[in-house]
Amino acid sequence: MKVTATELPEVKLIEPRVFGDERGWFLETWRMERYREHGIGPEFVQANASSSRRGVLRGLHYQWPQPQGKLVWVSSGRVLDVAVDIRPSSPRYGRWVAFELDDQQHRQLWIPPGFAHGFQVLSESACFNYLCTEPYRAEFDAAIAWNDPEIAVSWPLAEPDLSPKDAAAPYLAAIERDRLPR
Protein backbone atom coordinates (compact mmCIF):
# COMPACT_ATOMS: atom_id res chain seq x y z
CA MET A 1 0.00 0.00 0.00
CA LYS A 2 1.31 3.43 -0.96
CA VAL A 3 0.09 6.44 1.05
CA THR A 4 0.79 9.96 -0.19
CA ALA A 5 0.09 13.22 1.65
CA THR A 6 -1.65 15.71 -0.64
CA GLU A 7 -1.35 19.51 -0.87
CA LEU A 8 -3.61 19.43 2.19
CA PRO A 9 -1.27 17.19 4.23
CA GLU A 10 -3.99 15.71 6.44
CA VAL A 11 -5.82 14.43 3.33
CA LYS A 12 -4.11 11.29 2.07
CA LEU A 13 -4.25 9.43 -1.24
CA ILE A 14 -4.02 5.67 -0.81
CA GLU A 15 -3.02 3.21 -3.52
CA PRO A 16 -3.72 -0.28 -2.21
CA ARG A 17 -1.92 -3.34 -3.53
CA VAL A 18 -4.05 -5.07 -6.11
CA PHE A 19 -3.50 -8.76 -6.79
CA GLY A 20 -4.81 -9.86 -10.16
CA ASP A 21 -4.68 -12.56 -12.75
CA GLU A 22 -6.79 -13.66 -15.71
CA ARG A 23 -9.67 -14.45 -13.31
CA GLY A 24 -9.93 -10.96 -11.83
CA TRP A 25 -8.42 -9.12 -8.86
CA PHE A 26 -8.33 -8.86 -5.06
CA LEU A 27 -7.45 -6.00 -2.72
CA GLU A 28 -7.85 -5.05 0.93
CA THR A 29 -10.08 -2.00 1.27
CA TRP A 30 -9.30 -1.62 4.98
CA ARG A 31 -6.92 -3.25 7.43
CA MET A 32 -6.71 -1.37 10.70
CA GLU A 33 -3.04 -1.80 11.57
CA ARG A 34 -1.78 -0.91 8.08
CA TYR A 35 -3.88 2.25 7.84
CA ARG A 36 -3.15 3.33 11.42
CA GLU A 37 0.58 3.22 10.61
CA HIS A 38 -0.19 6.17 8.31
CA GLY A 39 -2.44 8.01 10.79
CA ILE A 40 -5.62 7.00 8.95
CA GLY A 41 -8.80 6.15 10.70
CA PRO A 42 -9.35 6.26 14.30
CA GLU A 43 -12.20 3.81 14.65
CA PHE A 44 -14.72 3.52 11.83
CA VAL A 45 -18.29 3.22 13.08
CA GLN A 46 -20.37 3.31 9.89
CA ALA A 47 -20.05 2.07 6.30
CA ASN A 48 -22.04 3.65 3.44
CA ALA A 49 -22.42 3.18 -0.29
CA SER A 50 -24.16 5.35 -2.86
CA SER A 51 -25.00 4.84 -6.50
CA SER A 52 -25.26 7.79 -8.87
CA ARG A 53 -25.49 8.47 -12.58
CA ARG A 54 -23.21 10.64 -14.74
CA GLY A 55 -23.19 14.31 -13.78
CA VAL A 56 -24.51 13.84 -10.25
CA LEU A 57 -22.61 16.05 -7.82
CA ARG A 58 -22.90 15.23 -4.13
CA GLY A 59 -21.43 17.84 -1.83
CA LEU A 60 -19.77 19.70 -0.41
CA HIS A 61 -20.88 17.97 2.81
CA TYR A 62 -19.70 17.98 6.41
CA GLN A 63 -21.11 17.37 9.88
CA TRP A 64 -21.10 19.88 12.72
CA PRO A 65 -20.63 19.80 15.71
CA GLN A 66 -19.63 16.13 15.37
CA PRO A 67 -17.33 16.06 12.31
CA GLN A 68 -16.73 12.81 10.42
CA GLY A 69 -13.54 11.44 8.97
CA LYS A 70 -14.12 9.41 5.79
CA LEU A 71 -12.14 6.80 3.92
CA VAL A 72 -13.68 6.74 0.43
CA TRP A 73 -13.30 4.75 -2.79
CA VAL A 74 -15.21 3.79 -5.93
CA SER A 75 -16.15 0.14 -6.53
CA SER A 76 -17.60 0.76 -10.00
CA GLY A 77 -17.30 3.75 -12.31
CA ARG A 78 -15.26 6.94 -12.03
CA VAL A 79 -15.65 10.16 -10.01
CA LEU A 80 -13.79 13.35 -9.23
CA ASP A 81 -13.48 13.37 -5.44
CA VAL A 82 -12.92 16.67 -3.59
CA ALA A 83 -11.87 17.58 -0.03
CA VAL A 84 -11.99 21.18 1.26
CA ASP A 85 -10.30 22.37 4.45
CA ILE A 86 -13.02 24.18 6.42
CA ARG A 87 -11.24 24.51 9.77
CA PRO A 88 -11.24 28.27 10.49
CA SER A 89 -7.91 28.08 12.35
CA SER A 90 -6.13 26.23 9.53
CA PRO A 91 -3.58 28.06 7.36
CA ARG A 92 -5.16 26.15 4.45
CA TYR A 93 -8.75 27.22 5.24
CA GLY A 94 -10.86 27.20 2.07
CA ARG A 95 -8.29 25.29 0.00
CA TRP A 96 -9.21 22.08 -1.80
CA VAL A 97 -7.69 19.01 -3.43
CA ALA A 98 -9.27 16.69 -5.98
CA PHE A 99 -8.46 13.25 -7.33
CA GLU A 100 -10.10 10.88 -9.77
CA LEU A 101 -11.16 7.67 -8.06
CA ASP A 102 -12.22 4.72 -10.18
CA ASP A 103 -12.69 0.98 -10.37
CA GLN A 104 -9.47 0.51 -12.36
CA GLN A 105 -6.78 2.05 -10.13
CA HIS A 106 -8.72 1.39 -6.86
CA ARG A 107 -7.29 4.48 -5.18
CA GLN A 108 -8.82 5.68 -1.91
CA LEU A 109 -8.91 9.07 -0.26
CA TRP A 110 -8.72 9.72 3.50
CA ILE A 111 -10.65 12.86 4.40
CA PRO A 112 -10.14 13.62 8.10
CA PRO A 113 -12.62 15.41 10.35
CA GLY A 114 -12.64 19.15 9.63
CA PHE A 115 -12.92 18.85 5.86
CA ALA A 116 -15.93 19.16 3.58
CA HIS A 117 -16.31 16.42 0.98
CA GLY A 118 -17.97 16.07 -2.39
CA PHE A 119 -17.75 14.17 -5.64
CA GLN A 120 -19.02 14.31 -9.22
CA VAL A 121 -19.70 11.20 -11.30
CA LEU A 122 -17.73 11.13 -14.55
CA SER A 123 -18.72 7.67 -15.84
CA GLU A 124 -22.23 6.58 -16.87
CA SER A 125 -22.78 5.53 -13.26
CA ALA A 126 -20.69 4.96 -10.14
CA CYS A 127 -20.88 3.14 -6.82
CA PHE A 128 -19.17 5.19 -4.12
CA ASN A 129 -18.11 3.71 -0.75
CA TYR A 130 -17.42 5.38 2.60
CA LEU A 131 -16.09 4.27 5.97
CA CYS A 132 -16.96 6.96 8.55
CA THR A 133 -15.45 7.77 11.95
CA GLU A 134 -18.75 9.11 13.32
CA PRO A 135 -22.30 7.99 12.59
CA TYR A 136 -24.42 10.13 10.30
CA ARG A 137 -26.75 12.39 12.27
CA ALA A 138 -29.35 14.33 10.29
CA GLU A 139 -29.32 17.15 12.86
CA PHE A 140 -25.55 17.65 12.27
CA ASP A 141 -25.78 17.50 8.46
CA ALA A 142 -24.34 20.58 6.74
CA ALA A 143 -23.25 21.63 3.27
CA ILE A 144 -21.32 24.33 1.43
CA ALA A 145 -22.23 25.48 -2.07
CA TRP A 146 -20.53 23.32 -4.69
CA ASN A 147 -19.90 26.45 -6.78
CA ASP A 148 -18.61 28.76 -4.03
CA PRO A 149 -16.45 31.25 -6.00
CA GLU A 150 -13.97 31.72 -3.14
CA ILE A 151 -13.27 27.97 -2.98
CA ALA A 152 -13.48 27.66 -6.80
CA VAL A 153 -13.43 23.89 -7.24
CA SER A 154 -12.83 22.98 -10.90
CA TRP A 155 -15.67 20.53 -11.45
CA PRO A 156 -15.23 18.79 -14.81
CA LEU A 157 -18.88 18.57 -15.91
CA ALA A 158 -20.96 21.72 -16.39
CA GLU A 159 -24.52 21.88 -15.05
CA PRO A 160 -24.28 19.16 -12.41
CA ASP A 161 -27.27 17.16 -11.23
CA LEU A 162 -27.81 18.38 -7.63
CA SER A 163 -30.11 17.49 -4.76
CA PRO A 164 -32.34 20.33 -3.49
CA LYS A 165 -30.16 20.48 -0.33
CA ASP A 166 -26.96 20.88 -2.35
CA ALA A 167 -28.54 23.42 -4.71
CA ALA A 168 -29.50 25.61 -1.71
CA ALA A 169 -26.23 25.26 0.27
CA PRO A 170 -24.61 28.55 1.39
CA TYR A 171 -21.17 29.83 0.51
CA LEU A 172 -18.48 29.14 3.11
CA ALA A 173 -18.17 32.86 3.95
CA ALA A 174 -21.88 32.93 4.95
CA ILE A 175 -21.40 30.21 7.59
CA GLU A 176 -20.59 31.44 11.09
CA ARG A 177 -17.08 30.29 11.97
CA ASP A 178 -18.25 28.85 15.29
CA ARG A 179 -20.47 26.48 13.24
CA LEU A 180 -17.48 24.98 11.44
CA PRO A 181 -15.21 22.12 12.60
CA ARG A 182 -12.16 22.90 14.70
Cα-Cα-Cα-Cα dihedral sign, residues 51, 154, 30, 20: positive
Catalytic residue among 61, 62, 106, 117: 61
Residue 136 annotated to the active site: no
Residues 49, 127 contacting (CB under 8 angstroms):
yes
Q: Cβ atoms within 10 A of the Cβ of 33, count?
A: 6
Alpha carbons 52 and 129: distance in angstroms, whole number:
12
- 171 assigned to active site: no
Distance between CA atoms of residues 25 and 39, nearest Å: 27
Q: Of 35, 62, 117, 130, which residue is the catalytic one?
A: 130
Catalytic residues: 61, 130
